[in-house]
Structure 1
């Protein structure tokens, strides 16, 4: 399609330790992409964090897609954990125009938000959020008049990557704050994606059904992930940034952007306001530029 923007149709997952600033990055990156003419769809795949609608300037969250797909298997529903059952989600491609209005919300800028699901209201015994990971892994959102760039805000930590969510992404972004835990997660993510790109097969010893083993292997062999990028966040000073860059370089990681500590963002989270960051515009543009450049190179 002539004039199609470079990132249109891509799926970008955002990862990091708890408190690193994943949802903050999703909020400011989605706004920056929208201002540059992209149609943006955000999928909230964090099973316990309820703050993303507020961060995007929305009055209320959408209804959980977990309900749309029949609930989680642990409560008698239909959606299984991808570790136990790598079978793709049925009817994973949805057209927004045909989706009941309760399952998505849009802010005044036109950014669309969907929620894969939350476990807080599911009751005892429903604490495994694997089914939510399956929805976020497989969900493809179409619009009648345009294709979106999709940003997915994953749960904190590394667990969802082990569930195979990386296999259906085009790019991953890891947010790194000034902590040893963040550096370690960044290194683990770099190693994980390198292994996927090298066709290293997933762990399947726990799967007794040979068909499921073959399916799990197929998902990883056919993985669409192209690259992972790293962004420093909550950086208080130059000394801290330089120290982090040295630590990450030892793991073969060079961050593409660095966002400084911003008290206004902390205040916005506290007061339930939309997340905005004029001070980070230049660094966010670096992220968009590297994504677009890499997309050009991979075509």
Structure 2
């Protein structure tokens, strides 16, 4: 059931950014701000190499990974394959939360639900490809019995998961831009890639030997649900830096929907493994959520 005036309900929103841009922090702040508005929020930790999201949400130890629930990674003898080599959809990917065994999800005191796709650090030598994690991030949809979720997907840093097609299963993407040239470049690359997907540009399939697999990969991209991409400035220390970033993005025909100020309490919380409480940054994020509701609600 969708409550009135909750345009984010039942949406899958992916958060992307280069390493160090603060995308996981933005995920936490967005989850806090959206949950406070009466939504039911699910955070899907799809960052295969980063740790600490559960602590930042105030949960403590994370749950068992969904990679185990779906039979493990193919590289370790399991069932979940890399979407580049095998675009076949994940079986039983749409599931109600109460159909999952309780060891596969956790909740914090505010009611935010956290699920973890999987980490490659514990997979052993030679099993370091995180393609199976990207497939779960692409296909997994959590359902609610009485109220549908807003799902925030925290992707691995960089462009790789996007290039694997993980964005095709999203409704919207948010790109986090910190004050670096690399972030500006990634923002432009993401804008270009999502524009191509929306224009039905087909994926690279020369490596696929089976015509059926080629057809399936093409189908996944042409039926992609991604509607558009938003951009957020993060860790901005002053007006001079903000103005410079805006000018550089304007040259790339990108307009950010909001700015999150630099907050020294945030890196300290990540260092100590404690819940992120950032009053100023959270106030900035409330404005961003206003914009998300306005833009997403206007497109529905």
Q: Which TM-score band (shorter chain)?
A: over 0.9
Q: Mean alpha-carbon deviation: is it higher for 271-280 or for 201-210?
A: 271-280
Q: Describe the superposition over 1:262-284 as per-residue Cα deviations: whole angstroms up to 9, x where unpaired.
A: 10111111111101221023421
- SS of 1:255 mapped into structure 2: coil
Instruction: Kindly state the Cα deviation for residue 2 of structure 1 after the two structures are TM-superposed.
Output: 6.7
- SS of 2:29 mapped into structure 1: helix
CA distance in 2, matches of 1:273, 1:22: 17
CA distance in 1, matches of 2:134, 2:293: 27
Q: Mean alpha-carbon deviation: is it higher for 7-16 or for 253-262?
A: 253-262
RMSD of the TM alignment (CA)?
Answer: 1.0
Q: How does 1:51-90 map to 2 (within 5 A)?
A: 51-90=52-91
- SS of 2:64 mapped into structure 1: coil
- SS of 1:79 mapped into structure 2: coil
Gap runs ≥5 in structure 2: none
Instruction: Kindly state the Cα deviation for residue 127 of structure 1 after the two structures are TM-superposed.
Output: 0.7
Gap runs ≥5 in structure 1: none
Show the counterpart of 2:260.
259
Instruction: Kindly state the Cα deviation for residue 297 of structure 1 after the two structures are TM-superposed.
Output: 2.3
Instruction: Kindly state the Cα deviation for residue 295 of structure 1 after the two structures are TM-superposed.
Output: 2.1
1:177 aligns with 2:142: no
Q: 2:172·2:228 contact (CA, 8 Å) conserved in 1?
A: yes
Q: How does 1:13-162 map to 2 (within 5 A)?
A: 13-162=14-163
Give the number of aligned pairs.
Answer: 299
Show the counterpart of 1:3.
3
Instruction: Go from structure 1 to structure 2 and tell me whether the alpha carbon gap of 1:2 and 1:99 turns closer, same or farther (over 3 Å shift).
Output: closer
- SS of 2:252 mapped into structure 1: coil
1:297 aligns with 2:290: no
Show the counterpart of 1:219.
220
CA distance in 1, matches of 2:36, 2:295: 21
Which of structure 1's runs of 4+ aligned residues deviate more than 4 A? Answer: none
- SS of 2:61 mapped into structure 1: coil
Instruction: Kindly state the Cα deviation for residue 89 of structure 1 after the two structures are TM-superposed.
Output: 0.2
Q: 2:168·2:225 contact (CA, 8 Å) conserved in 1?
A: yes
Q: 2:54·2:60 contact (CA, 8 Å) conserved in 1?
A: yes
- SS of 2:255 mapped into structure 1: coil
Q: 2:176·2:234 contact (CA, 8 Å) conserved in 1?
A: yes
